[in-house]
Amino acid sequence: MVRLVATDPFDGALPARVGGVELTASPVEGAVLIAPHRGAEAKVGAILQKSRGLPFPGPGETARAGAARILWAGPDRALLIGADLPEGVTEHAAVTDQGDGIAALTIAGPRVEAVLARLVPIDLRPTAFPQGRTARTLVGHMTASVTRTGEEAFEIMVMRSMAGSLLADLREAAERVDARP
């Protein structure tokens, strides 16, 4: 009988501290993408609310209820993380497993905004991008999901295959910021 051992996208490289910021893996195992069928957003939202205490998020929004959370992930789609898919959702939405396709980490530290300013082209000032806000944008050359998870913390998701490039880009940016006179 065979046994399969899971490996994480960062291949054990996290947690790490680079140039004054902390990088920690963010578990997204079992995450599913929910894309409601035409006109079914309200129904999906109602099911989520009832069974998981989560809304179907609008553009740029996230919500959290205990260990469960949901992120806007593009027009009319959201990523459900840390919770089983409630019954009935598949009747009203296209659901795909995505947890394995994502490399996610949290980057935190006093200079986190300065580090991300080297890679992310959007306005991440707290006034424009407060805690809980999410965006589909770029990190360097990579398409990414960026979410503010704290005053000095962000979660970044990229394609799993690019995990190494994400670490390399963050390391380079953090080291340059740290070395500034």
Interface contacts to other proteins, rule CB under 8 A: 1-9, 11, 29, 33, 35-38, 77, 93-94, 96-102, 117-118, 120-125, 127-128, 140-142, 159-166, 168-169, 172-173, 175-176, 178-181
Closer CB to other proteins, 7 or 67, in the complex: 7
Q: What minimum distance in Å lies between the beta carbon of 68 and other proteins?
A: 20
Nearer to other proteins, 36 or 109 (CB): 36
Strand order in the sheet with 21-25: 16-18, 21-25, 102-108, 153-159, 142-150, 134-139
- What's the CA gap between 172 and 178, in Å, rounded? 10
How far apart are CB 151 and other proteins at their closest, in Å? 13
Tell me whether residue 8 or residue 64 sits nearer to other proteins (CB atom): 8
CB of 53 to other proteins, least distance (A): 24
In the complex, the smallest distance separating the C-beta of residue 61 from other proteins, rounded to whole angstroms, is 20
Collect all residues with Cβ–Cβ distance below 8 Å to 3 and sequence separation of at least 6.
none
Cα 32 from Cα 58, distance rounded (Å): 17
Nearer CB in complex with other proteins: 63/162: 162
